[in-house]
Amino acid sequence: MSVEEVLAACRQQDGGGGGAVPEPPAPAAQAAPPPEPTAAASKPAASAAKPAASGKKPGAMSVADMLAAARGEVSDDAAAPKPAGKKPAAKPAAKTKAAAPAAEAKQPVGPKDTMSILAAARGAAKPGPISKAEAAARAKESPAPKKEKPTAPPMPAKPDYAKVAPAPAVDQAERRGFLVACAAIFAGTFFVTSSLAIGFSSLAVTSLLWVLGTARFMFPNILAEPPTVFTVGFPDEYAPGQVVTKFKAQFGVWIVRYEYEGQAQIYALESVCTHLGCTPNWLDGEQKFKCPCHGTGYYKDGINFEGPAPRPLERFAIRVADDGQLEVDKSRKFKEEVGQWADLASYVSV
Ligand code: FES
């Protein structure tokens, strides 16, 4: 039912208020003045609180009352006593027309609030704006579906061309032969390289020796010999009968303080055997010179007395130098067999 039909039905029930053409209801202030707030009106009175069906004028009915009358029952709001001072008796008819759509009349009969009526008028296919409480209730009724955890698709099978062929089995004998060949090649290389290294090293050493020998020829060949004139100390340093051998190794001479033909002398004997030129030794225990080559023996004064030597030892010239020391001159020799030991230069008297 449309709002006009609802209003017409209400007027018909009211008895004479309706017509063929519904007229917009006059404002409540014009249709009926609001009742005075009295004690009797504020009390819940069944006669005063009855809806339009029980005698209320159509112009003084509220939209809810008119809807309830259209449904054929009295709403709680209409049945409940209302204070006359708080709520006006009627609302503008135009507002009532707009608030009651035609679909409202087709709703099932029963108490409904304005939100329910509007929701029914909108229908399920056209949801409109909803309140927060309604949104919470909807969320409880139909919670959001849980998001399933995405799962990775299975790996595709590896193609044949990408598969690595297993390494062929290597024969142990073949591997051993390969290792032996490698070792032989390494040994041969080492031998060849070692031979080359030895050859080049020998060549380098030979070249160095040749260069050194050539350089040696650039210098004169000098024979380093001891001087022929040298000093052997003071005469007081020699005891009677003493044979000093410390100059034998360096100068080849013995310094002897002894007597010859009853005269005490200091003389220098050459340490060379008169047989074949060997070097005799002084034997202090036997008080003689002894040649190790053929056994010739000499007395302390140099006279040979045994062995193959044919003559006595020879003397060097000796004298007292300016500084008082004994000076030996090997450039001059004195032989006993020719009487040279009698020369004053062959001895120093003490
Ligand atoms: Fe001295 Fe023959 S060399 S005894």
Q: Which carries the bigger pLDDT value, residue 248 or residue 115?
A: 248
pLDDT at 284: 92
| Whether residues 95 and 201 fall in one domain | no
* 159: in domain: no
Q: How far is CA 110 from CA 70, 244, 262, 299, in A?
A: 11, 165, 186, 176
DSSP characters over 29-60: HHHSPPPP--HHHHS--TTTS--GGGT--GGG
Q: How confident is the model at residue 127 (pLDDT cuts 50, 70, 90)?
A: low
CA distance 248 to 280: 10
pLDDT at 123: 64
In the listed set 159, 192, 222, which residue is the last one of a domain according to the structure?
222
| Whether residues 63 and 102 fall in one domain | yes
CA distance 162 to 155: 14
pLDDT at 34: 44
* 69: in domain: yes
Phi, psi of 334 (to 5 degrees): -130, 130
* 164: in domain: no
pLDDT at 162: 81
| Whether residues 241 and 214 fall in one domain | no
- Three-state secondary structure along 143-171? CCCCCCCCCCCCCCCCCHHHCCCCCCCCC
Q: Which carries the bigger pLDDT value, residue 158 or residue 324?
A: 324
| Whether residues 241 and 320 fall in one domain | yes
Domain that holds residue 209: 183-222
| Least confident span in 135-144, 203-212, 263-272 | 135-144
Cα-to-chain-centroid distance, residue 214: 61
Q: Which carries the bigger pLDDT value, residue 5 or residue 248?
A: 248
CA 303–ligand 1 middle distance (angstroms): 14
CA distance 17 to 15: 6
pLDDT at 89: 43
What residues contact residue 284 under an 8 Å CB cut-off, 6+ apart? 243
Percent of the chain with pLDDT over 90: 39
Q: What is the number of the ligand 1 atom nearest to the C-alpha of 280?
A: 1
pLDDT at 225: 80
What's the average model confidence in pLDDT over 53-80? 59
| Whether residues 249 and 218 fall in one domain | no
What's the average model confidence in pLDDT over 197-205? 91
Q: What is the number of the ligand 1 atom nearest to the C-alpha of 308?
A: 4
* 111: in domain: yes
* 86: in domain: yes
CA distance 60 to 63: 10
The torsion of the CA quartet 188, 194, 195, 196, rounded to 10 degrees, works out to: 110
* 131: in domain: no
| Whether residues 203 and 268 fall in one domain | no
Q: Tokens for 191?
A: 């031998």
Residue 42, pLDDT above cutoff 60: no
| Whether residues 50 and 116 fall in one domain | yes
Residue 151, pLDDT above cutoff 80: yes
CA distance 139 to 193: 93
Residue 129, pLDDT above cutoff 80: no
In the listed set 80, 105, 122, which residue is the last one of a domain according to the structure?
122
Q: What is the number of the ligand 1 atom nearest to the C-alpha of 309?
A: 4
Please give the model's pTM, rounded to 2 decimal places.
Answer: 0.41
- Residue ID of nearest Cα to ligand 1 atom 3: 276
What's the average model confidence in pLDDT over 262-282? 95
- Residue ID of nearest Cα to ligand 1 atom 2: 294
pLDDT at 335: 95
| Whether residues 216 and 289 fall in one domain | no
pLDDT at 303: 94
| Whether residues 209 and 271 fall in one domain | no
What's the average model confidence in pLDDT over 344-349? 94
pLDDT digits (tens, 9 = 90+) for 316-330: 999 999 999 999 999
Distance from the first to the final alpha carbon of the chain: 184
Q: What is the number of the ligand 1 atom nearest to the C-alpha of 273?
A: 1
What residues contact residue 258 under an 8 Å CB cut-off, 6+ apart? 240, 241, 243, 264, 265, 267, 300, 301
Q: Which carries the bigger pLDDT value, residue 119 or residue 310?
A: 310
Residue with tokens 């040749």: 210
| Whether residues 107 and 189 fall in one domain | no
Pocket test for ligand 1, best of 272, 276, 313 (most atoms within 8 A of CB): 276
CA 146–ligand 1 middle distance (angstroms): 133
Mean pLDDT of the chain: 76
| Whether residues 107 and 16 fall in one domain | yes
pLDDT at 14: 57
* 85: in domain: yes
CA 247–ligand 1 middle distance (angstroms): 21
Domain count, the chain: 3
| Whether residues 268 and 193 fall in one domain | no
Q: 3-class SS at 266?
A: strand
In the listed set 170, 201, 222, which residue is the last one of a domain according to the structure?
222
* 37: in domain: no
